Structure 1
Amino acid sequence: MERIGILFALFLISIIQLVGQVEVSGIVVDKITKEPLIGANVVVAGTTNGTVTDWDGSFSFAAEVDLPFTVESSYLGYELSTLQMTEVGEKLTFELSEASVIVEGVEVKGQRISDKQKAAPLTVESLDIIGIKQTASANFYDGLGALKDVDLTTASLGFTIINTRGFNSTSPVRSLQIIDGVDNQSPGLNFSLGNFLGASELDINKVDLIVGASSAFYGPNAFNGVISMTTKDPFINRGLSAKVKVGERNMLNPSFRFADAIRNKNGDYSFAYKINFFYLKANDWEADNYEPVFDTDTGKNNPGRFDAVNIYGDEYQSNYDLRKSLSNPGLGIFHRTGYKETDLVDYNTENLKANASLHFRLRPEMDFESPELVVASNYGGGTTVYQGDNRFSLKNIRFFQHKVELKKRDKYFLRAFVTHEDSGDSYDPYFTALKLQERAAENGEWGSAYINYWNITANPQIKGLEGFPKTSSFPGDPDGYRAAINQFLSNNSTLLNQLHASAEESANKGVTFNQTNDFLLPGTDPFNLAFNDIISRVANSEGGTKFFDKSALGHVHGEYKFNDVYQSAGVLNGIDLLVGGSGRYYIPNSQGSILSDTMGRNINTYEYGIYGGSTVSFMESKLKFNFSARLDKHQNFNYLFSPAGSLVYNPGRNTYLRLSYSAAVRNPTLTDQYLYYNVGRAILLGNIGGVEDLIRVESFGDYLNAQDITLLEYFDVDPIQPEKVRTIESGFRTTLFNKVYVDATYYYSRYRDFIGYQIGIDATFDNFINNPTSVQAYRVSSNATDVVTTQGFSIGLSYYFAKYFLVTGNYSWNKLNTQTDDPIIPAFNTPEHKYNLSLSGRDMMMNLGSLKMKNFGFNFQYKWIEGFIYEGSPQFTGFIPTYALLDGQVNWNWKARNLTFKLGASNLLNTMNFQTYGGPRIGRMAYFSVLYDWNKKT
């Protein structure tokens, strides 16, 4: 009985503590456009009790006051609005009007960032609907490069990649991109193709970049960050938006969005729908870097050509290296005639995206708090250039995604989606170059023809020149004799260049050995016939270079939030709980052109995971402890545990301190597990089962030089395993002097089991003199053994002044601490220092003599990126020089006609720059757009 009495007393105390608490919730919108205002302040009048609106303009907080009371809402550039709350459960709708006077002093309460985001246990960078409209870049996706901690890489006009915190690549397998919670990755490649298959700009409401390890929150592959896009809600954003953008490089970009909602007989919105269409056509940037590949033995002055970055088929081959041959003076190293990428790639970029979704409110009387059923379908496709280990021409690629979801705002969701892809007519230009060369001669035949010309024609001419060194002058000194020959040849460089040109021409003629065809010259009918034949045949199975990929994946994800499991006015204020789980099934289908799914082999795989978390609030919710943990299982790998925890302290309004620990895992991709792709020089091999008895490349070279088989060194490669990272972060957000918004972050990360690759040789030898009878090089997926640490710091500042203007700047520092010779460690590929500066203004008055025009805006963005070594494949490894970019735009909003005119340019000064080694030089993209944006108000 005593225990019952104590429990009853505690119950009464908790009831007393809850008395007087009222939930204040609703939405804040622009009075004219009805668009939600993100980051608007909402407080109980006369108190500091309040919050900031979320991405859709909504808000919710608990107030310890007695009814009725007054609630105020304010927003930068808008008039203060007040509403009376008279009953429990009432939903407030604030419609804010733009301020009619210029205010020189502006109080900054935030940077359109909700309290939820400020208190998030992870580092979050955001681009909201206003930022999207104001971006100076040619599109909103490129505009994300202005955010701190973000590395943006453009490999082609249709292929821009976002990475964060190092170990970047043009195959962003360490980051996750989701649109309305749906993973946007390609089922076969296991990463997203930028926004090529993503959402239309007209439908984007907000983009959040969750920076750093976050598997505990987003599942496997949220390794270095998450790009989370949220599209517009057709219940809130109703009406017609249509835009036409034209620009340099023959760019044409029409798009439109239409959304509407229907009321039921009670006058409540019960059904909404939206449709989107986006089309882009332009001439792509051409990859025409004909400089020697970084760190090669031959350069521009080599008489026998050199390996150029964007010429394929001219790579170094050991049997073309006769520098040690005294019987062939001047032959040295020679390279085969290759093909320029510009002769092999379709640079006519096209991108078509379409989307439709149906939204059903199951309890319409609850308005936006109603449970909602969403059925959506997306299509994306077109032609562009993708860069991975090679440059790839993605031609007529198609991507389908279908979703059904049941959700209730801030409570639960159950989501299922399927993704299908069709590689269309995509092909590998590099491998195509090798196949074209084979049509004329095998490499051995071509090299023999080159050497034969040298023996018959070049040697007599060189040795017959006056002053050619005599062997007798260097008795017992072959090195001295070789040095004398080299000096003699350097004095006769013109003749040497002519002889190499003649040797190349002779080898390219189909008149020696088993050759039957001349070198196929680009633009000729024989070239076009052979080229079209090669790219129309599937790689591996049909002897061509075309991809066949009709892979698919299915995904189910559910989550439930237990809000306010415990609530009190004491030291411990509240406890929220969250539980969820997800599962995914991969269905690869490449018919052996990329993956080892031949001979009936089933390589379908599955993965699943469960997770849970809690938020505990203390000290009037000024201190919050967040904890999350996730357990994942992949069919081919053991269970993996990803914990995360954080402390967020709010000592004063708009000031937040954060300390967090997070973990992430990355399961090997399908290509890491099952790749089987012959690129001519080697076979790229996935490694799900391990590989035994490969020969180290260096030892094979020693064997060839010495003809001593005992010099061969063998090694095994263990089966591939998931990558792992652990990160500690600290963060600080505040507003200084009511004018300057500050956001700073520091992180330290520790990585294990990096996924890279090892190169080895499989060879057989005869039983008599140990000559090789077969030699095959392999590049095998593998894990690193070294542990690697990185660290970084970033800070962003924003200053609002004179109502109209905003100055922002951010700086990021990223450092790879561990110096390692382990070739498996993937390249850091990140500038140590970079910064962004911008000046923007909106809703300004412009005086043109006696004519005064309202609603002008502008944005100018300066970016500086320090040079760094970019390490990709051997062909695409080199130095990216330091570069700077200036983006700019001016716009005018003709509100009476719902029109916005925008004139701008990315890379305004046309400073041609490389953003990835092996990619094109990126220049200016000037554009002009007209947007019609009609928002339905009833």
Structure 2
Amino acid sequence: MRLQQLLFTLAGVLFCGLLSAQITLRGKIVDANTGDDLIGASVLAKGTTTGTVTDIDGSWELTVSGLPTVLQFSYIGFAPTEVEVVERGQDLTIRLGDDAITTETVEVVGQRVSDKQRQSALTVESLDAIAIQQTPASNFYDGLGSLKDVDLTSASLGFKIVNTRGFNSTNPVRSLQIIDGVDNQSPGLNFSLGNFLGASELDVNRVNLVVGASSAFYGPNAFNGVISIETKDPFLQQGFSAQLKVAERNLFEGGVRWADAIKNEDGEEWMAYKLNLSGFRADDWVADNFDRVFDTDFGPDNLGGYDAVNIYGDEASPTFDFEGVRNLPGLGRIFREGYKEEDLVDYDSENLKAGVAFHFRLNPKKALESTELLVASNYSTGTTVYQGDNRFSLRGIQFFQHRLELRNRDNFFVRAYVTHEDAGDSYDPYFTALRLQDRSKPDDAWASEYTDYWQRNIVPRFNNLEGYPNCFPRDCGILERDQLRSTFFEQPNIRELLEEYHAEAREFAQSPRGVNTQGDLRPGTAEFQEAFDEITSTIASEEEDGSRFFDRSALYHVHGEKKFNSIWQPNDASRLEATVGANGRLYTPNSQGSILLDTAGRNIDTWEIGAYGGGTLHLNDRYKISTSLRVDKNENFDVLLSPAASFVYTPSQTTTARVSFSSAIRNPTLADQYLNYDVGRATLIGNLNGVEGLNTVESVRAFANSGRQADLVFFDVAPIKPERVRTLEAGYRTTLFEKLYLDATYYYSFYDDFIGFNIGVDANTFGTQLLSAAAFRVSANAQEQVTTQGFSIGGNYYFANYFSFNGNYSWNKLNSDTDDPIVPAFNTPEHKFNLGVSGRNVPVGFLGSGVRDLGFSINYKWIDGFIFEGSPQFTGFVESYGMLDAQVNLAVPSINTTIKLGASNILDNKVFTVYGGPRIGRLAYLSATYELKGR
């Protein structure tokens, strides 16, 4: 007992000694002329290598060995300054003034990597205002694709998807995207629309990507990661800014931002506001992949046609297979011609975003520490192409988002917002092709006329051809004759004849004939346009025979959070902080049966609620221990828990090691629960209550061949339930030689009740006959656990004050090899990397007195080939590819303008980032950004 007491006493003495040995200082760095926060400014304890950089709001935090000490503050383009710190409470708001001559700057460990980011328990990738300016991509959202762990998918120019750590999808339901804390998902479809409903580039202050399971504080949708976009505060970033951009593909983009503050009679700013307006238009990338659909049996060498990726309506039908039919020699498998996507889709891509926000300080005397009331509204509309189970032409789609928030920085907030959407004139091109084809001539009538023509006109010609095997059974066996004919049809001259004969039969079958046909509705004709307009303006439902989908759904959300920054604080180096919060959400879908099961007045409104809490113990600014727990309840599912814990060790200002356990849950989307959508080959259905009595696809095929009822295999699908993920993660961040910053992460994830789909058939049989068969794709959970793992490493090497090399590598692997019918669509390259070099604020005064700073960046991205699993039409192999991006920018202070010239995919490699999507080529651009900062 005495030994235990002695050990505790010694540990206490040592612990207190460690606590008293170091002191943490905090402050802020601003521009002395404009008052703007300086992001990435340097703070260094003089005579040491201990330093840091300022965070997004200009704040900094630095641990020193004791007082007094001298701190050095510097920022490129500003005069450096030194301040002696003699006491803990000293005001350390530092105002840096302009420096006519760029001085030699102090090299700071981990330049532009803040302590908050370095000491985060999770993997966090960031793109700040400076990095946005420096990205060689054509816009900030595309620039996210060069970050570590990130997959960027381009379904079109106007629709980009960001995903992390696997299970990439063009409908990213496993990642959450928020703008100033507001979820920007589509209320009816339950996933984010990239930056289509987003923020203007002029108003973006920073983008943080939290990689991995993050439900604890972000909610159920933060499954594989969070894309958090922070916009500029009108109190802190005032003035007028404008941007014009022109590019290839007739792209024109423009935007303006105006922010200002109003002072009261005491000279205190009590209200600030900002206005944003931005838009673009361009000729979208064309999806013109005419290769055969992946893993199908027939390609361009089949004279009767084939199923091409971006041609719709040409899909194979079992009734079109005449291979081996003896009275139709040479016919084989035939396919309808279908319609190219480019004849069905509106490729005039455009997007308009408008926003207004008012910030009111309830106690102006406290300035930034005052409680604020925020009122904001955003509107977005446009036309683009979205890819899900089919390709969809989003035409005139609109979003309205309104927010009311009461907040006190780093203290609390209460936020309420609502999002409304209107699908406008959006429609499904795939289903449009089927409708057009059916109007032209139903499949059975088309096939009947094709075969009739072949039998009456083509077969007699074969019989008269010299060398045609036409013996009778008394002279040769039927099988022998079939083999001879097969060889006959392979002759080059006979194949040329077959090509002509198929063209004749196709022309005959396509011509108008019969009561229920409209003939050949070819693109470019008045008849085609009339039918197209009628189909795409009519709602797709059981009652109406169109392809337009109706969606006027809404999402209502309320969220409150409170932080306790110092529950226990024995000294400046140690403290215990905590956070608690709760949120509630209501979905009110309204698709009039065109997408969901909300027909006949059925109410499918759905609510979710959640609450969370967590604490972080800081010890001696070296150890940080965090735990949290979140509880979620969806109206249709049981209560679920999401625990998380982490340990972060910071042995020095330059090095951080971390281990963490995180978890997340994902409630089934409205589509997983209520979907009812016919995509042609199958009907997609939600599965809230379970599905019974389906047959396996293989067994239906077996029955069709054998006629034996015993061959039919039946199965049921259990009701859908939420999926869960648990992740173990370890990471290490350090700076070597005061210039090289490294960040490495390894993770291993366990997925339970993984949400995918089962495919089954509702077969209608009579005796040995298959009368009809309807295919269904049913939302379902995997029965076995799915596991993934990955590793990533990134580095930045800073040199010569203005330049840096950067690179990152990511490895992601789906471990599971299972017979479970639900195959996870991992859709992620196993290997990918980025390599780049950049320069920032390079002094080029010799070019003329009006020019000061030059910047440039070059980035090469390489993506390993991978299988992309989407719908049957859009499942296939994405080939490996590399893309080179580059830009150069020049600041001209005399006119407050930055000129930027660049190009993405500068080598013009035609690459697919998603199977079924367009080939992405070069996009060269020129932009001018004008900024007049407020005082």
Smaller-chain TM-score range? Answer: over 0.9
Match of 1:348 in 2: 348
Q: Distance in 1 between matches of 2:630 and 2:749?
A: 19
Mapped contact 2:76–2:841 kept (Cα < 8 A): no
Match of 1:930 in 2: 928
Match of 1:10 in 2: none
Mapped contact 1:106–1:800 kept (Cα < 8 A): no
Q: Secondary structure at the match of 2:852?
A: strand
- What code does the residue aligned with 2:502 have? H
1:565 to 567, 570, 576: 567
Matches within 5 A, 1:735-746: 735-746=735-746
Give the structure-2-normalised TM-score: 0.94
1:885 equivalenced with 2:886 (yes/no): no
Mean alpha-carbon deviation: is it higher for 376-385 or for 112-121?
112-121
Match of 2:798 in 1: 800
1:163 equivalenced with 2:163 (yes/no): yes
Matches within 5 A, 1:371-382: 371-382=371-382
Mapped contact 1:405–1:413 kept (Cα < 8 A): yes
Identical amino acids, percent of aligned pairs: 55
Match of 2:539 in 1: 538
Match of 1:6 in 2: none
Q: Distance in 1 between matches of 2:24 and 2:736?
A: 30
1:556 equivalenced with 2:581 (yes/no): no
Match of 1:591 in 2: 592
Mean alpha-carbon deviation: is it higher for 821-830 or for 792-801?
821-830
Mapped contact 2:700–2:763 kept (Cα < 8 A): no
User: In the TM superposition, what is the alpha-carbon distance from 1:468 to its structure 2 partner?
Assistant: 2.4
Match of 2:322 in 1: 322
1:908 equivalenced with 2:913 (yes/no): no
Mapped contact 1:37–1:56 kept (Cα < 8 A): yes
Match of 1:780 in 2: 778
Give a deviation string over 1:282-333, Cα, whole Å, max 9, x none.
Answer: 1101111111111111011101011111100001111111213223211111
User: In the TM superposition, what is the alpha-carbon distance from 1:183 to its structure 2 partner?
Assistant: 0.4
User: In the TM superposition, what is the alpha-carbon distance from 1:358 to its structure 2 partner?
Assistant: 0.5
Alpha-carbon distance change, 99 to 165 in structure 1, aligned in 2, over 3 angstroms = farther
Match of 2:828 in 1: 830
Mean alpha-carbon deviation: is it higher for 100-109 or for 732-741?
100-109
1:216 equivalenced with 2:216 (yes/no): yes
Alpha-carbon distance change, 922 to 21 in structure 1, aligned in 2, over 3 angstroms = closer
Alpha-carbon distance change, 16 to 136 in structure 1, aligned in 2, over 3 angstroms = closer
User: In the TM superposition, what is the alpha-carbon distance from 1:216 to its structure 2 partner?
Assistant: 1.4
Mapped contact 1:105–1:801 kept (Cα < 8 A): no
Match of 2:154 in 1: 154
Mapped contact 2:74–2:105 kept (Cα < 8 A): no
User: In the TM superposition, what is the alpha-carbon distance from 1:911 to its structure 2 partner?
Assistant: 1.1
Mapped contact 1:474–1:481 kept (Cα < 8 A): no
Alpha-carbon distance change, 51 to 108 in structure 1, aligned in 2, over 3 angstroms = closer
Mapped contact 1:845–1:852 kept (Cα < 8 A): no
Match of 1:254 in 2: 254
Q: Distance in 1 between matches of 2:477 and 2:127?
A: 70
User: In the TM superposition, what is the alpha-carbon distance from 1:467 to its structure 2 partner?
Assistant: 2.1
Mapped contact 2:242–2:931 kept (Cα < 8 A): yes
- What code does the residue aligned with 1:173 have? V
Q: Distance in 2 between matches of 1:403 and 1:440?
A: 49
> Which segments of 5 or more consecutive residues in structure 2 lack a partner in the other structure?
1-13
Mapped contact 1:127–1:207 kept (Cα < 8 A): yes
Match of 1:182 in 2: 182
Match of 2:9 in 1: none
Q: Distance in 1 between matches of 2:901 and 2:551?
A: 40
Q: Distance in 2 between matches of 1:89 and 1:340?
A: 70
Q: Distance in 2 between matches of 1:48 and 1:561?
A: 33
Alpha-carbon distance change, 747 to 849 in structure 1, aligned in 2, over 3 angstroms = closer
User: In the TM superposition, what is the alpha-carbon distance from 1:597 to its structure 2 partner?
Assistant: 0.1
Mapped contact 2:795–2:806 kept (Cα < 8 A): yes
Mapped contact 2:79–2:103 kept (Cα < 8 A): no
Mapped contact 2:51–2:108 kept (Cα < 8 A): no
Match of 1:701 in 2: 701
Alpha-carbon distance change, 823 to 91 in structure 1, aligned in 2, over 3 angstroms = farther
1:607 equivalenced with 2:605 (yes/no): no
User: In the TM superposition, what is the alpha-carbon distance from 1:33 to its structure 2 partner?
Assistant: 5.4
- What code does the residue aligned with 1:714 have? F
Q: Distance in 2 between matches of 1:583 and 1:474?
A: 82
Give a deviation string over 1:592-650, Cα, whole Å, max 9, x none.
Answer: 000000111110000111111110122x1201111111111111111111111111000
Alpha-carbon distance change, 166 to 476 in structure 1, aligned in 2, over 3 angstroms = farther
- What code does the residue aligned with 1:132 have? I
Give a deviation string over 1:489-524, Cα, whole Å, max 9, x none.
Answer: 111111111111111111101225x55321201010
User: In the TM superposition, what is the alpha-carbon distance from 1:348 to its structure 2 partner?
Assistant: 0.4
Match of 1:277 in 2: 277
Q: Distance in 1 between matches of 2:638 and 2:323?
A: 51
Mapped contact 1:102–1:803 kept (Cα < 8 A): no
Mapped contact 1:869–1:878 kept (Cα < 8 A): yes
Match of 1:581 in 2: 582
RMSD: 2.6
- What code does the residue aligned with 1:875 have? Q
Give a deviation string over 1:120-166, Cα, whole Å, max 9, x none.
Answer: 12100000010001111110000011101001111101001111111
Mapped contact 1:240–1:935 kept (Cα < 8 A): yes
- What code does the residue aligned with 1:544 have? G
Match of 1:312 in 2: 312
Q: Distance in 2 between matches of 1:482 and 1:720?
A: 51
Mean alpha-carbon deviation: is it higher for 429-438 or for 289-298?
289-298
Mapped contact 2:616–2:625 kept (Cα < 8 A): yes
Match of 2:11 in 1: none
Mapped contact 2:597–2:675 kept (Cα < 8 A): yes
Mean alpha-carbon deviation: is it higher for 475-484 or for 631-640?
475-484
Give a deviation string over 1:539-577, Cα, whole Å, max 9, x none.
Answer: 11321000100000100111111112111249x932111
User: In the TM superposition, what is the alpha-carbon distance from 1:47 to its structure 2 partner?
Assistant: 7.7
1:368 equivalenced with 2:368 (yes/no): yes
Q: Secondary structure at the match of 2:719?
A: coil
Q: Distance in 1 between matches of 2:882 and 2:35?
A: 39
Q: Distance in 2 between matches of 1:892 and 1:576?
A: 44
Q: Distance in 2 between matches of 1:88 and 1:800?
A: 32
Mean alpha-carbon deviation: is it higher for 677-686 or for 528-537?
677-686
1:617 equivalenced with 2:615 (yes/no): no
1:496 equivalenced with 2:498 (yes/no): yes
Alpha-carbon distance change, 532 to 47 in structure 1, aligned in 2, over 3 angstroms = same
Match of 2:3 in 1: none
User: In the TM superposition, what is the alpha-carbon distance from 1:677 to its structure 2 partner?
Assistant: 1.0
User: In the TM superposition, what is the alpha-carbon distance from 1:453 to its structure 2 partner?
Assistant: 1.4
Q: Distance in 2 between matches of 1:716 and 1:921?
A: 40
Q: Distance in 2 between matches of 1:89 and 1:525?
A: 79
> Which segments of 5 or more consecutive residues in structure 1 lack a partner in the other structure?
1-12
Matches within 5 A, 1:676-715: 676-715=676-715
User: In the TM superposition, what is the alpha-carbon distance from 1:788 to its structure 2 partner?
Assistant: 1.6
Alpha-carbon distance change, 127 to 736 in structure 1, aligned in 2, over 3 angstroms = same
1:516 equivalenced with 2:514 (yes/no): no
Match of 2:465 in 1: 465
Q: Distance in 2 between matches of 1:495 and 1:603?
A: 58
Give a deviation string over 1:155-204, Cα, whole Å, max 9, x none.
Answer: 10100111111110111111000000000100001011110110000000
- What code does the residue aligned with 1:55 have? I
Mapped contact 1:17–1:568 kept (Cα < 8 A): no
Mapped contact 1:105–1:803 kept (Cα < 8 A): yes
Alpha-carbon distance change, 756 to 851 in structure 1, aligned in 2, over 3 angstroms = same
Alpha-carbon distance change, 750 to 14 in structure 1, aligned in 2, over 3 angstroms = closer
Alpha-carbon distance change, 288 to 32 in structure 1, aligned in 2, over 3 angstroms = farther
- What code does the residue aligned with 1:827 have? A
User: In the TM superposition, what is the alpha-carbon distance from 1:820 to its structure 2 partner?
Assistant: 2.8
Give the structure-1-normalised TM-score: 0.94
Q: Secondary structure at the match of 1:568?
A: strand
Alpha-carbon distance change, 395 to 231 in structure 1, aligned in 2, over 3 angstroms = same
User: In the TM superposition, what is the alpha-carbon distance from 1:772 to its structure 2 partner?
Assistant: 4.2
Alpha-carbon distance change, 238 to 126 in structure 1, aligned in 2, over 3 angstroms = same
Q: Secondary structure at the match of 2:161?
A: strand
Give a deviation string over 1:347-395, Cα, whole Å, max 9, x none.
Answer: 0011000111000112222221221111110111100000000000000
